[in-house]
Homo-oligomer: A and B are copies of this chain.
Amino acid sequence: MIGQVRVVGTGLLGASVGLGLRALGVEVIVHDSSPANLSLAIDYGAGRAARDTDNPRLVVVAVPPDVTARVIADELAAFPDALVTDVSSVKVAVLAGVRAAGADVDRYVGSHPLAGRERGGPISARGDLFLGRPWVITPQDGMPAAQVGVIEDLVLDLGAVPVIMTAEQHDTSVALVSHVPQVIASLLARRLIGGTESALSLSGQGLRDTTRIASSDAELWVQILGANAAAVTAVLREYRADLDRAIDTLGAPELPGARRTLAELLAGGTTGVSRIPGKHGQDRRFHQIIVMVDDRPGELARLLTEIGHIGVNMEDLRLEHSPGQQIGLAEISVVPEAEAGLVADLEARGWRIAQVGA
């Protein structure tokens, strides 16, 4: 347990930190430059309003990237006994900004939870937002372990997984796995503006997935990209070199070697995807069973009840279902050992298995 925690900024991340800590019985003080946001966050149970007698042990700054360094400096000055962390998506520029402000930077430990939702604001906040997500901590050189440990405790208390990196490592990492994908997806989605209605009517799940993040908050992303511009442009330049090769090759697809170049570029994508850990990457721990379910109320419930009786634990469930169809497909993920028995048991109970595979 951590003592009094002060959370500055009650958007999605700040309010979620507040809710998560409150659920553990921690005394949380919330503050926001917007009185409307603040009272909303208090109503949602993210914490209480500040008092003159507050003496927080830890301050969590959760404001937009552009003002993060300034707010950190202000908090360091206002609470000389407190440790200050932040949750912004860039770390080098923030640390430099805190230093430039002449603040007592030794009490600042940067951090960044890799968690979010498509919807922002305190209304979308959830105490379990960080559950199982990585949360990067970027201690400065030579920082006392006890100080870093306070932030690690915060991360663990919120159910996240602490990952220690330097600020530079953090920024090049998120440039690759988060900031560049955002630019790429936005520029692809931008091409759709000029498409005809009938072209757009042919859109499938591939286009939807590839462009989903392009609907994120453009203003916030201008701040993030601006603050991590060097790392982002380094990756974008490598990407552009590949794009140039693809365009050149497709400009003369019948030249000798053209198909081979194209095949190498595309196969490189397959290799790249396989490096992403988790469900769709190399760490594909579960097998999927697809069960056909009649589109009648109660049918899916009956299926899940029977799976419960069979005694198998579902790791994940997805219903594939086009409105108006008579049949839905329930994709059930289970540990590999459970797959064969579950298929046999379900078939014995009369369920149709549409397809089985890893």
Residues of A within 8 A of B (CB): 114-116, 119, 123-124, 126, 128, 131-134, 136, 159, 163, 165, 169, 172-174, 176-178, 180-196, 198-204, 206-216, 218-219, 221-222, 225-226, 229, 232-233, 235-240, 242-244, 246-247, 250-251, 253-254, 258-259, 262-263, 265-281, 285, 297-298, 300-301, 304-305, 307-308, 311-319, 321-325, 327, 354-355, 357
Contact = CB atoms under 8 A, between A and B. Distances in A.
Given A181-B188, A181-B207, A226 B259 contact: yes
3 tightest Cβ-Cβ pairs between the two chains A and B: A186-B269, A214-B269, A301-B304
Q: Which of A116, A180, A201, A258 has the most CB of B within 10 A?
A: A201
A159 B270 CA distance: 32
17 contacts: A115-B204, A163-B201, A176-B195, A177-B192, A178-B206, A178-B207, A189-B269, A211-B269, A215-B270, A225-B250, A226-B254, A226-B259, A229-B253, A240-B243, A297-B308, A305-B305, A318-B318
A276 B236 contact: no
Nearest to A136: B202
A240 B244 contact: yes
Given A181-B206, A278-B203, A187 B246 contact: yes
A270 to B, nearest CB: 5
B165 A198 contact: yes
A187 B180 CA distance: 12
B298 A308 contact: yes
Given A233-B251, A235-B191, A203 B243 contact: no
Contacts of A187: 239, 242-243, 246, 265, 269
Contacts of A243: 183, 187, 236, 239-240, 243
Nearest to A184: B188
Given A181-B188, A219-B263, A268 B193 contact: yes
Contact of A184 (B210, B232, B304): B210
Given A212-B280, A269-B190, A236 B246 contact: yes
Nearest to A199: B173
A259 B308 contact: no
